[in-house]
Structure 1
Amino acid sequence: MADPREHVLTGTRGALCVLEWPNERPRYVAVVVHGYGEHAGRYAGVARVLVAHGAAVYGPDHVGHGRSAGERVVVEDFEDVVTDVHTAVGAARSAHPGLPLVLIGHSMGGLVAARYAQRHGGLAALVLSGPVIGDWRLPGRLLALDEIPDTPISPAALSRDPAVGASYAADPLVWHGPMKRPTVEAFARTLRTVEEGGGAGGVPVLWLHGTDDRLVPLPGSRPGVERLGGAGVTERIYPGARHEVFHETNRDEVLADLTGFLDTVLPR
């Protein structure tokens, strides 16, 4: 697979960095929406599989994340992030007009992808990995405190593969500090917005989650996914897996489930 290309677009809060993993003859476009505190470059392994499967893959770094502009991990309004994803989608569609669009959102990116589906539609498929959606109680607990504690995400919570945690801990583009109050407040607002925003317009939804996800517990996500996708949800729950199922010890199984699902929903 060719090295990713970096595009710098105009985002809602300044420069928006978008990675592209190119495919000379794609049959669909996949846009990867990363999670809190990380960046699109962490999804190179997912992109490699999707390119081999026939996708041109794009991944924006959200405001305050990765190489995009903004104070680190400050998201004042997730509607801006949804708009930035739409900008990246526009660039992808301009390069590959007429191809089906798949949106893949992990964790916080699942919240953004869900809201994107509500606002914009036009998806051939929506994939949610450990999505922050439904009854996620962390924002309420943090906002009840006078001061948000300086407790960064534990690398061990991401995967049973210790190499994943080590790479995360050493990554200079990953945020290793505390959550910031404006972002926590924006999480709380957008969880309510998505809950009240209806379904995803009948788009097929694939939900991937680990049973040992301690960052976004599976039971809390379930009602949000079911409200969003209705009868069109395919779920794959992985016993013992932690938060980042795409980086788990059974990642080959997870990625095979992803491409198998896409084979059932994309036009041939």
Structure 2
Amino acid sequence: MCHLVVELVLGLYYQRWRPAKPKAVVMVVHGFGEHGGRYAHVAEHLAAHGYCVYIPDLRGHGRSPGQRGHIQEWSEYWYDLTFLRNFVESSEGPLPQFVYGHSLGSLVVLDFLVKQPPGLQGAILSGVLLEPGKVANPLLVATARLLSRYQPTLSLRLGLDARALSRDPAVVEAYRKDPLVHNRASVRWGNEVLNAIAVVKAQAKKIIDPLLILHGEADTINRVEGAHWLFREVSSTDKELRIYPGGYHEPHNDLQKAQVLHDITDWLERHL
């Protein structure tokens, strides 16, 4: 197995895990304030099962350039994911393609699916960002709406509690000490995320791709009601929902992570 680190033409940092003879490609889109390196254990697990994995750091995150937690408009994420997919096709040829998004990444992927990109084998959505919890308090929402037009780059602390990520203290401690993690978002970013949630909710029935939805039952960052809503509303006839009892925000980093990794590879194998 070979682990390569390179940069996209767009300047986004990405990592690739590639087994000698991959049977499919999984593109992973991480959550807010973090970076692709936090998914190394997921990528290594998938690569050991024959999957080539690409994980970019979103703009304004990790080792990629840009103001931390800022975008001018939501379409920038769509453009980056579209470019990544085209890059993967040119690099890996006709291998089957899957996309996996967690939290903010789940919203990026859902918006991508609403636009009905052809040729994907399916999507995995984790910690679905459709019903934000404590972070989306009314004061922050009102501030984002009001100032987005006039001071779009104004940066605020989201107040995300690292203890809500996982019941594993080691995961929480590693997150707190990670120099590539940040907890700031611009008011424009907040406004664009709220608008993207509204668009996905209005157009969810356009989604027809095979889906695997993963969510922690006790997630206070993105409430589990969003995962249930998505499962009901999409038009996909091939869809599965896994709710992990007592689970927190990051299923792949929580106490049941071995089961989560098994569920992911089992679903991928059944959709090749």
Partner of 1:236: 242
CA RMSD of aligned residues (A): 2.0
Report SS of the residue matched to 1:240. Answer: coil
Partner of 1:45: 41
Report SS of the residue matched to 1:132. Answer: coil
Partner of residue 209 from structure 1, selected from 215, 225, 233:
215
Over residues 20-58 of structure 1, what are the superposed CA-to-partner deviations in whole Å (9 max), with x where a residue is unaligned? 112221000000000000111110010011111111100
Over residues 56-107 of structure 1, what are the superposed CA-to-partner deviations in whole Å (9 max), with x where a residue is unaligned? 1001111101111110111232221121112112221112111110100000
Partner of residue 154 from structure 1, selected from 153, 161, 180:
161
Partner of 1:164: 171
Partner of residue 132 from structure 1, selected from 129, 133, 136:
129
* Contact persistence 1:139–1:184 (CA under 8 A): no
Any gaps of 5 or more consecutive residues in structure 2? Answer: 148-154
The answer to whether the aligner puts 1:144 opposite 2:151 as a matched pair is: no
Instruction: Report the CA distance between 1:121 and its aligned residue.
Output: 3.5
> What is the CA–CA distance in structure 2 between the aligned matches of 1:220 and 1:81, rounded to whole Å?
21
* Contact persistence 2:213–2:227 (CA under 8 A): no
Question: Percent identity at matched positions?
Answer: 33
> What is the CA–CA distance in structure 1 between the aligned matches of 2:236 and 2:132, rounded to whole Å?
19
What is the aligned length? 260
Question: In the alignment, residue 37 of structure 1 is paired with which amino acid?
Answer: G
Partner of 1:62: 58
> What is the CA–CA distance in structure 1 between the aligned matches of 2:45 and 2:126, rounded to whole Å?
16
Instruction: List structure 1 runs of 4+ shifted beyond 6 angstroms.
Output: 146-149
Partner of 1:123: 120
* Contact persistence 1:114–1:200 (CA under 8 A): no
* Contact persistence 1:29–1:101 (CA under 8 A): yes
> What is the CA–CA distance in structure 1 between the aligned matches of 2:269 and 2:66, rounded to whole Å?
38
Partner of residue 76 from structure 2, selected from 55, 77, 80:
80
> What is the CA–CA distance in structure 2 between the aligned matches of 1:57 and 1:73, rounded to whole Å?
24
Sort the Cα spacing of 1:97 and 1:238 in 2 relative to 1 into closer, same or farther, 3 A: same
Q: Which is worse superposed, 80-89 or 253-262?
A: 80-89
The answer to whether the aligner puts 1:10 opposite 2:17 as a matched pair is: no
* Contact persistence 2:121–2:271 (CA under 8 A): yes
The answer to whether the aligner puts 1:173 opposite 2:180 as a matched pair is: yes
Instruction: Report the CA distance between 1:115 and its aligned residue.
Output: 1.2
Tell me the TM-score normalised to structure 2 length: 0.89
Question: In the alignment, residue 109 of structure 1 is paired with which amino acid?
Answer: G
The answer to whether the aligner puts 1:102 opposite 2:98 as a matched pair is: yes
Partner of 2:195: 189
Question: In the alignment, residue 85 of structure 1 is paired with which amino acid?
Answer: L
Partner of residue 253 from structure 1, selected from 254, 259, 267:
259
Sort the Cα spacing of 1:124 and 1:20 in 2 relative to 1 into closer, same or farther, 3 A: same
* Contact persistence 2:204–2:235 (CA under 8 A): no
Instruction: Report the CA distance between 1:136 and its aligned residue.
Output: 3.4
Tell me the TM-score normalised to structure 1 length: 0.90
> What is the CA–CA distance in structure 2 between the aligned matches of 1:73 and 1:24, rounded to whole Å?
36
* Contact persistence 1:114–1:228 (CA under 8 A): no
